[in-house]
């Protein structure tokens, strides 16, 4: 049974996002994105979001790992590992530097033509996220991000421009990265990266989130509709950070709390997959008098623009208890998290739960009856380069192996329809959450430290050869 293989056409690959690796933040007329105004933080030290780019501050995304100039070398290494696909995003600000222009920026479009051609040369299928925490900063300053209905049109223009330009090169798309992460509406970083909201203490962050999220969901649905007109073969997915939520005990209040937390957090994909808001969210918005602007026309769009598949990231599970807050009073799931005594934690305190991935694959299948695509999974860890240049990362191999064993069970024993697996940060890049380089995910090491020193040289870690073998054997050999 453990010999069972993954499907033959399974999309093995790796995932990155433009702002975390491309660098070249002003090349070819690129504009300033929200990622360009975020400083470097550290473990438990949040990144600062500055009012524009302030000289003298450290903005790690400005240079990334300079993939913009190294992509040929990097794609060649992906091909050497045997990648069948490569997930990246299109930096919105390369195509529309300010976000509200009527004409696209040709130099930006050309860069992605070149990158996708390079992938296709090795039969690597590009898998593209349209908006991965990369909104033009101008749209934040001038319009308030997705608090403003006008931003829907700007996103749809960006999306259709990309669909038209790359319709013969890209088949797999996702609209917004981890759209559900803004359910943590008191988190400045997540709100700014997801929908371009800058929180201020006087406003009701939760009401603001439901409004911005609605406009974003409408923008996503409109993009799906337009995309299908441009190429009916497109597969356009949602992208969520799926986090299964467990009750702290079998106490009924804890079990109800786990369900409530799931309803507060995981409703975004309900709207994108079903085409309408779940009853519990409608009731919650009503009872709190949030009164978001949701028109009848919007509801029709949501119905017509449902997704083809579910792309999701999986890093950890979450445990909640009803001890501090009663289930009916829950607004922010972050408030009720307790630590899970049965799982280990990473150096950044992310809980490691491989079984939770099998559980997630089944839960999503049961809820949506759609194909799934694991578009992120992985371990952020510190790596050490030996004197001979080798990098031994058995912890990363162990993490990925344990998760893939569970994925294989979901596919071969549970009948889950899984399109592919793209571990996060297949090449070391800037951490989204902390802005660090030292929180590494890659199979490929990049010589650069948290202060920005290093010659950017690429080298293969032990996990590089391990993943190469996994792909070569279609996942039969995970050792």
Instruction: Compute the least distance from the CB of residue 38 to ligand P53, in Å.
Output: 11
Nearer to ligand P53, 346 or 459 (CB): 346
Nearer to ligand P53, 36 or 178 (CB): 178
CB 371, CB 310: distance < 8 Å? yes
CB 12, CB 471: distance < 8 Å? yes
User: Of 196-204, 272-280, 381-389, 426-434, which segment contacts ligand P53 by CB under 6 A?
Assistant: 426-434
Secondary structure E strands in 199-349: 235-241, 245-247, 309-313, 318-320, 337-338, 344-345
Note if 376 is an active site residue.
yes
Cα 152 to Cα 221: distance, rounded to the nearest angstrom: 10
**Residues 438-467: x/- map of binding to ligand P53 (CB under 6 A)?**
-x----------------------------
CB 464, CB 81: distance < 8 Å? yes
Using rule CB under 6 A, residue 432 touches ligand P53: yes
Token code pair at residue 212: 């911005």
Token code pair at residue 248: 């702290």
Nearest to 422 by CA among 146, 85, 142: 85
For ligand P53, the binding residues in 348-377 under the rule CB under 6 A are 376
The only residue of 13, 380, 420, 442 in contact with ligand P53, by rule CB under 6 A: 380
Using rule CB under 6 A, residue 431 touches ligand P53: yes
Nearer to ligand P53, 179 or 407 (CB): 179
Rounded to a whole number of angstroms, the distance between the first and last alpha carbons of the chain is 15
Nearer to ligand P53, 158 or 424 (CB): 424
Number of residues that bind ligand P53 (CB under 6 A): 16
Neighbours of 238 (CB within 10 A): 28
The only residue of 33, 61, 175, 177 in contact with ligand P53, by rule CB under 6 A: 177
The only residue of 134, 178, 180, 216 in contact with ligand P53, by rule CB under 6 A: 178
Nearer to ligand P53, 105 or 238 (CB): 238
Cα 31 to Cα 95: distance, rounded to the nearest angstrom: 9
Residue 47 dihedral angles phi and psi, to the nearest 5°: -75, 145
CB 257, CB 321: distance < 8 Å? yes
Instruction: Compute the least distance from the CB of residue 85 to ligand P53, in Å.
Output: 17
Nearer to ligand P53, 210 or 424 (CB): 424
Token code pair at residue 90: 């299109």
Nearer to ligand P53, 77 or 240 (CB): 240
CB 146, CB 182: distance < 8 Å? no
Using rule CB under 6 A, residue 333 touches ligand P53: no
Q: Give long-range contacts, CB 8 A cutoff, 24+ apart: 185-188.
A: 185/209, 185/332, 186/332, 186/334, 187/334, 188/46, 188/49
Instruction: Specify the DSSP element, H or E, that contains 444.
Output: strand 444-446
The only residue of 68, 424, 445, 466 in contact with ligand P53, by rule CB under 6 A: 424
Using rule CB under 6 A, residue 22 touches ligand P53: no
Q: Which 3 state secondary structure label does DSSP give 141? A: helix
User: Of 69-77, 176-184, 395-403, 468-476, which segment contacts ligand P53 by CB under 6 A?
Assistant: 176-184
**Residues 280-319: x/- map of binding to ligand P53 (CB under 6 A)?**
---------------------------------x-x----
Instruction: Compute the least distance from the CB of residue 279 to ligand P53, in Å.
Output: 27
- Antiparallel, parallel or unpaired: β 235-241 and 245-247: unpaired
Using rule CB under 6 A, residue 403 touches ligand P53: no
For ligand P53, the binding residues in 232-291 under the rule CB under 6 A are 241
Query: CA angle, 15 as apex, 10 and 16 as ends, to 5°?
Result: 165
Non-local CB neighbours of 412 within 8 Å, separated by 6+ positions = 1, 4
Residue, CB closest to ligand P53:
433
User: Of 116-124, 205-213, 392-400, 424-432, which segment contacts ligand P53 by CB under 6 A?
Assistant: 424-432
Spot the catalytic one: 125, 376, 386, 405: 376
> Which residues of this chain interact with ligand P53, rule CB under 6 A?
17, 20, 177-178, 181, 241, 313, 315, 376, 380, 424, 431-434, 439
Catalytic residues: 376
């Amino acid at each position: 049974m453990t010999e069972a293989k993954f499907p033959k056409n399974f999309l093995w690959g790796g995932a990155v996002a433009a702002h975390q690796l491309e660098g070249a933040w002003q090349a070819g007329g690129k504009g300033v994105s929200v990622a360009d105004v975020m400083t470097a933080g550290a473990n438990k030290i949040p990144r600062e979001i500055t009012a524009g780019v302030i000289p003298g501050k450290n903005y790690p995304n400005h240079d990334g790992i300079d993939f913009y100039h190294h992509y040929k070398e990097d794609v060649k290494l992906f091909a050497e590992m045997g990648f069948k696909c490569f997930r990246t995003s299109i930096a919105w600000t390369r195509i529309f530097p300010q976000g509200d222009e009527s004409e696209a920026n040709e130099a930006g479009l050309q860069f992605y033509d070149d990158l996708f051609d390079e992938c296709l040369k090795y039969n690597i299928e590009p898998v593209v996220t349209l908006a991965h925490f990369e909104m033009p900063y101008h749209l934040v300053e001038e319009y308030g991000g997705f608090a403003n209905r006008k931003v829907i049109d700007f996103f749809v223009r960006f999306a259709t421009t990309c669909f038209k330009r790359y319709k013969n090169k890209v088949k797999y798309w996702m609209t917004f990265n981890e759209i559900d992460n803004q359910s943590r509406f008191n988190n400045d970083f997540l709100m700014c990266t997801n929908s371009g909201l800058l929180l201020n203490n006087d406003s009701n962050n939760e009401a603001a989130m439901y409004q911005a999220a609605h406009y974003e969901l409408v923008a996503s649905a409109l993009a799906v509709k337009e995309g299908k007109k441009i190429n009916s073969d497109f597969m356009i997915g949602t992208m969520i950070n799926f986090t299964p939520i467990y009750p702290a005990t079998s106490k009924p209040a804890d079990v109800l709390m786990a369900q409530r937390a799931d309803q507060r957090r995981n409703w975004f994909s309900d709207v994108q997959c079903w085409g309408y808001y779940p009853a519990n969210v409608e009731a919650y918005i009503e009872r709190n008098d949030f009164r978001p602007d949701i028109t009848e026309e919007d509801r029709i769009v949501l119905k017509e623009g449902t997704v083809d598949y579910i792309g999701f990231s999986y890093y950890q599970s979450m445990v909640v208890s009803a001890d501090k807050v009663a289930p009916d009073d829950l607004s922010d799931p972050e408030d009720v998290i307790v630590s899970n005594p049965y799982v280990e934690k990473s150096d950044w305190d992310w809980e490691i739960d491989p079984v939770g991935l099998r559980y997630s694959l089944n839960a999503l299948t049961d809820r949506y009856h759609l194909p799934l695509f694991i578009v992120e999974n992985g371990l952020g860890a510190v790596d050490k380069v030996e004197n001979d240049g080798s990098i031994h990362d058995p912890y990363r191999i162990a993490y990925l192996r344990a998760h893939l064993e569970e994925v294989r069970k979901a596919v071969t024993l549970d009948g889950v329809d899984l399109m592919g697996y793209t571990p996060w940060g297949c090449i070391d890049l800037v951490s989204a959450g902390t802005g660090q380089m030292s929180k590494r995910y890659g199979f490929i090491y990049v010589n650069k430290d948290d202060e920005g020193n290093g010659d950017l040289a690429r080298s293969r870690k032990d996990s590089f050869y391990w993943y190469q073998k996994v792909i070569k054997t279609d996942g039969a050999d995970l050792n």
